[in-house]
Structure 1
Amino acid sequence: MNKSVVISNASSSGVPIVLLIVGAVIFVVSFFGCCGAWKENYCMVTTFAILLTLIFLVEIAAAIAGYVFKDQFKAVIGDSFKISMATYGSDKEMKKAIDALQQEFKCCGGNSSSDWSHVPPFNDTKKGSLPDSCCKNETESCGVGEAKTPLSSKIFPDGCVEGLKEWLDKNIKIIAGVAIGIAAFELLGIIFACCLMKGIRSGYEVM
């Protein structure tokens, strides 16, 4: 999927900061590893091995926490989508994102199309309108009056929250596979660092 899902939640607002910190940590670890191997410095290689081991353990802990709290994360996505809906009439970028998402997932509203009845400008019960992106065949003003017809065949019957959860379940397996691959390389890095430490120490003992 090439569309963005905006998550407006306090628990997710720190993600960019976390990514920056992770990037800085990786840079520091890489520095110790490269310089230690190049200079054959025992202390730097040892520091590299220790830091890489700590990162490896943190990743395992994060994977366990992610599995334990996966249902809560799905709830955050659902709640955030509903919060985003509230800005549909005032935020053009959000409108585009939600419209694209509804067409992509073939859905309407959070849990159902009735969620739009609480969102301006669709809270006018007399008009009973829905966003055009709720229409199976999207055309201009195709959503006008469709909220008055329960189970309209012209409107996507399912809400977007379930679609987002299914998409997350599908893609989290890919993410898990990539994470396992990275962890395997880190484990190899730890093993090679230990071997290098042993070689450097043996060289010191010979001298």
Structure 2
Amino acid sequence: MAVEGGMKCVQFLLFVFNLIFWLCGLVLIVVGVLVQTSLHNTVAIHDASASAGPIVIIGIGVVIFFVAFFGCCGAWKENYCMVTTFAILLFLIIVVEIAAVIAGYMFREKLSNVVEDSLTEMISGYKNSTADFKGTVDKLQENMKCCGANSSADWRSFGKDRKSVPDSCCVKPSANCGHGTMKNRHKVYQKGCHDALLAFMRKNLLWVIVAALVIAGLQVFGIVFSCLLMRGINSGYEVM
């Protein structure tokens, strides 16, 4: 018994949604890699929970990438077992995504302490660190237009005169521009990097949370279409 437009439309929509899921998986992988790279290139964060978020995002992206391909095959071949498995896997992915969103939101409240500890560690280890590490700190201060963790005074142990800061703290960076100018607001940024970096990270984390919720919403439609197609196949309908 052939089904007219209804089931054919469901099959087509499921196939299209799986293509969208495939792209979403690819986007999550890229976003996860970018967030992980940004976290560790912008500031040397060693807190394990900071790395867990991006890794979970990458993991979900990889799973969605392959599950979507599996769902496309199931829809195209009208295979009841494949479509059922796809719907179950999609439901499990949604559960993991919701858990990741909750964890990400909770981590937002912990960000302030993580950033504070990381900046303090970076400042204390600056003088005896490698050129790459110093470059990371300098780039952070130049890009964020800030100096120290909470203020330029955090660099008081940088020079013997206790009045010097790295040249990257200068409003107009140049060789030795930070020597003896710690409190000179016309030459050195007085605002610390903590607030600026915290706002930057919270903004990026918020976008990740929004993206995960949007993708989870799309996946709900995928489950609905999968169930409709499963019912059609189970009833002995031809959908092609």
Q: Same fold (TM over 0.5)?
A: yes
How far apart are the structure 1 equivalents of 2:71 and 2:100?
Answer: 24
1:7 equivalent in alignment to 2:40: no
Considering Cα pairs closer than 8 Å and 6+ residues apart, tell me whether 1 or 2 has the greater RCO. 2
Secondary structure of the corresponding residue to residue 69 of structure 1: helix
The equivalent residue for 1:100 is 139
Secondary structure of the corresponding residue to residue 8 of structure 1: coil
- Contact kept, 8 Å, 1:8 with 1:83, in 2: the verdict is no
Q: Within 5 Å, give how 1:35-54 maps onto structure 2.
A: 35-54=73-92
> More helix by proportion, 1 or 2?
2
Q: 5+ residue gaps in structure 2? A: 1-36
Q: Within 5 Å, give how 1:88-167 maps onto structure 2.
A: 88-89=126-127, 90-118=129-157, 122=158, 124-126=159-161, 128-147=163-182, 150=183, 152-167=185-200
Q: 2:215 aligns with which of 171, 182, 190?
A: 182
- Structure 2 vs 1, CA of residues 114 and 9 (structure 1 numbering), >3 Å: closer, same or farther? same
The Cα offsets for residues 143-200 of structure 1, whole Å up to 9 and x where unpaired, read as 01123xx354321111101111122333344333322321222122111111111111
Q: 5+ residue gaps in structure 1? A: none
- Contact kept, 8 Å, 1:130 with 1:145, in 2: the verdict is yes
How far apart are the structure 2 equivalents of 1:10 and 1:83?
Answer: 16
Structure 1 stretch displaced more, 7-16 or 137-146: 7-16
- Contact kept, 8 Å, 1:9 with 1:76, in 2: the verdict is yes
- Contact kept, 8 Å, 1:130 with 1:143, in 2: the verdict is yes
- Structure 2 vs 1, CA of residues 91 and 19 (structure 1 numbering), >3 Å: closer, same or farther? farther
- Contact kept, 8 Å, 1:131 with 1:143, in 2: the verdict is yes
1:63 equivalent in alignment to 2:70: no
- Give every structure 1 segment of 4 or more consecutive aligned residues whose post-TM-superposition deviation is greater than 6 Å: none
- Structure 2 vs 1, CA of residues 179 and 16 (structure 1 numbering), >3 Å: closer, same or farther? closer
- Contact kept, 8 Å, 2:147 with 2:193, in 1: the verdict is yes
- Structure 2 vs 1, CA of residues 34 and 47 (structure 1 numbering), >3 Å: closer, same or farther? same
RMSD: 2.6
The equivalent residue for 1:30 is 68
Q: How far did residue 49 of structure 1 move?
A: 0.7
The equivalent residue for 2:3 is none
State the TM-score, normalized to the length of structure 2.
Answer: 0.71
- Contact kept, 8 Å, 2:60 with 2:97, in 1: the verdict is no
- Structure 2 vs 1, CA of residues 48 and 74 (structure 1 numbering), >3 Å: closer, same or farther? farther
Q: 1:193 aligns with which of 218, 221, 226?
A: 226
State the TM-score, normalized to the length of structure 1.
Answer: 0.81
The Cα offsets for residues 3-23 of structure 1, whole Å up to 9 and x where unpaired, read as 732322233344565455334
Which amino acid in structure 1 is aligned with residue 72 of structure 2? C
How far apart are the structure 2 equivalents of 1:49 and 1:158?
Answer: 52
- Structure 2 vs 1, CA of residues 162 and 11 (structure 1 numbering), >3 Å: closer, same or farther? same
Identical aligned pairs, as a percentage? Answer: 48
